[in-house]
Structure 1
C-alpha cells in the first residue's frame, strides 16, 4: 500500500499546478496513511484531522436527512488557496488537497483527483 500511496503523492506533486499539500485519511479511524507538503509550515495531517470533522458532519447530515447520496467532494475557497476534500466512493477515505488558487487549474485538478480517488478505492 505504501508504494501505491507514494506513487500517488509523486503524481499529485508533479501534475497539479499550485500544489501545496496532500493527505490521504481514513474516515473511520482518522489515521492519515499518506501526507506531503511543499510548504514546511503547512501540516497536511493536522489539516486532515480538522477536515475529518467536516466530512463526518456532512455524512451525518446526509444520513439524518435520509438522502441516498454520496459526497463527491467538498471545496473550501480561501483568499489565496483552495482546499479540496475528495471522498472515496465507498466513504472510507478522503484525499485532502491544498493548492495555490493563483496557480491551480481547477478543472485539471479535479480530473486528476477523480482518477486518484478511484485508484484509492480499488487499492486500499
Structure 2
C-alpha cells in the first residue's frame, strides 16, 4: 500500500474506534499542511487546525531547545470544556492531531487508540 493509503486507513480506523470522534489529520510540520484528514463535523476545518497546531508544535520545539532539554516531544494535550485535542508526533517532521468530544471518550482511551495505530503505522 502507498503511504497515503496507510495514513487514510489509520485515520479511518481511529475514527471508528473512538466514541465522540470529531476529526483528525496527519500534518507536515514544516508547511502546516494536512497530508490526510477526516472529520465528522461540517464546520470543523482541519486545514486551519493543522496550520495552527503546526505553529504550536514548532513553539514547543523552540521551548525545549531554549531550556536545553535532552527530551524529545512525544505528545501535546489540549483540554477544552467539551473536547480533548491530542497532538502525537509521528517523526520530527510529522504529527497526528485528533479531536474528540469529552462526553464520548476519555483521555486514557484517546491516547490508547492513537498510540495503537501510530505504533502499527511505524512498524
Could you state the TM-score of these two structures normalised by the residue count of structure 2? 0.90
Match of 2:7 in 1: 5
Deviation at 1:118, TM superposition (A): 2.9
Query: How far, CA to CA, are the matches of 2:43 and 2:30 in structure 1?
Result: 27
User: How many corresponding residue pairs?
Assistant: 121
- Correspondence 1:1-124 to 2 at 5 A: 1-88=3-90, 90-120=91-121, 122=122
* Structure 1: stretches of 5+ with no match in the other structure: none
Residue by residue, what CA displacement relative to the aligned partner does 1:60-88 show, whole Å, maximum 9, x if unpaired?
11012111111121111111111111112
Could you state the TM-score of these two structures normalised by the residue count of structure 1? 0.89
Moved over 4 A (4+): none
Cα-Cα RMSD? 1.5
* Structure 2: stretches of 5+ with no match in the other structure: none
